[in-house]
A and B are shown apart, each in its own frame.
Chain A
Amino acid sequence: MTNAYLKAFGMHVPERVVTNQEIGELAHCDPAWIEGVSGIRERRWADPESSVADLAVEAAKDCLDRASLSAASLGMLIVASGSGASGFPGPAAAVAAALGLETTPALDVPMASAGSLFGLALASKLVEFHGDVLVIGAEKMSAVIQASSLDPNTAILFGDGAGAALVSSRPAGWKIVDAVLHTDGQFRDVLTFDWKSGLRMDGKSVILQATRKLPSVIHELLERQSLTPAEIRAFLLHQANQNLSLRVAKALNVPEEKVYSNVARYGNTSSASMLIAAAEWSQTHPAPGPIVFSAFGAGFHWGALLARPA
């Protein structure tokens, strides 16, 4: 592993809160059922005029502020999103332009939920060559769920937001120690989205695979580093569903509190969620210790990344 450090995190969520009552009326389902099946109580929706890039820029600015860096110091941008408005260019170019960057390379990772994890792992390999890499996960899932008629099984889950992480080659924060990434394309039709057909998800397949693959890849990563789940300070997961997070905690045999959760407040923000969780956790849980990031999403793509205090 190269010398790569997580210097700071940042986040942005829109102001508008959409409660289970509101989405329940729109999708014709019971608010109590929504919370029971997902643990979600509310989510944020951006205004119709806001773009994925707009959300990403706000998270980028928050992360750069926390890192006490200017955008001009960045060597590279990586923007993960599955909800960009156009085929190409993806939102990375617009984010770079909004940050005043005219020549800095900006890479799109159009992977949905596992995108920011893959972005972090990629950044850890690129940082020594390019300099500081800002990894952003940004999603406007309110547009995704409204691209076709609202399906109560999916519309209740998703929210808008953006998270960011500054990966540096200079010691700071947490050192990225190792990462394990996997893809299994035989299930690529289980969770899909395009603007013409809308969002399609076989929730049973997704949950069945995720409940096994997330603990499995975390064990794979930790065994490689001769660590046990009990030695990990916090698990910062893609925030898909509270019931899934609880099952991961159970499978790892760690207290539920170790698996950070904010899905009740923001819902599933796809690629943004893991970095939003990191941004919140890093401000509220300052005690040192190794941390594990992990995500699973459409593709299927999944993986885990280990970082230790620098």
Chain B
Amino acid sequence: MPDANRHERLLGVLKKVTTQPLPSDSEESLFESGLLDSFALPDLVSALEQEFSIKVPDRDLNPRKFDSIARIEAYLDQHAG
């Protein structure tokens, strides 16, 4: 079952690392939409670690894992408490 609070916190994180409006489609690529670029991505990962008190290990530093709101939520489902 989707965690509404986590979803809102994730949107809050995304709003901190980009000035562009967030996509309404959670499957939309954040890279192809221009929301994230190469240097915003590390900021996003750091912000996720801080907000959700997780440590993203180097082996998980794969852009595809953070390419859409849905994929980030799937990652958080697996790794955030």
| Cα of A147 to Cα of B38 in the assembled complex, Å | 25
Please pick, from B31, B38, B58, the residue contacting A207 in the complex, using a CB distance under 8 A.
B38
| Cα of A247 to Cα of B38 in the assembled complex, Å | 12
Count how many chain A residues have C-beta atoms less than 8 Å from C-beta atoms of the other chain. 15
A184, A209, A211, A213 pick with most chain B CB within 10 angstroms = A211
Count how many chain B residues have C-beta atoms less than 8 Å from C-beta atoms of the other chain. 12
Taking a contact as CB atoms under 8 Å apart, the answer to whether A207 and B42 are in contact is yes
A-B contact number at CB 8 A? 35
Binary interface profile of B, 49-60, with partner A (CB < 8 Å = 1, else 0)?
000000000110
Taking a contact as CB atoms under 8 Å apart, the answer to whether A204 and B38 are in contact is yes
Q: Contacts A208-B45, A208-B63 hold; do A243 and B58 have CB atoms under 8 A apart?
A: no
B17 to chain A, nearest CB (A): 13
Binary interface profile of A, 204-226, with partner B (CB < 8 Å = 1, else 0)?
11011101110000000000000
| Cα of A212 to Cα of B60 in the assembled complex, Å | 12
A206 to chain B, nearest CB (A): 8
Q: Contacts A208-B45, A208-B63 hold; do A203 and B38 have CB atoms under 8 A apart?
A: yes
30 A-B residue pairs with CB within 8 Å: A37-B37, A37-B38, A184-B58, A186-B59, A202-B63, A203-B38, A204-B31, A204-B38, A204-B41, A204-B63, A205-B61, A205-B62, A205-B63, A207-B38, A207-B39, A207-B41, A207-B42, A208-B38, A208-B41, A208-B45, A208-B61, A208-B62, A208-B63, A209-B58, A211-B39, A211-B42, A212-B58, A212-B61, A243-B39, A247-B42
Residues of A within 8 A of B (CB): 37, 184, 186, 202-205, 207-209, 211-213, 243, 247
Residues of B within 8 A of A (CB): 31, 37-39, 41-42, 45, 58-59, 61-63
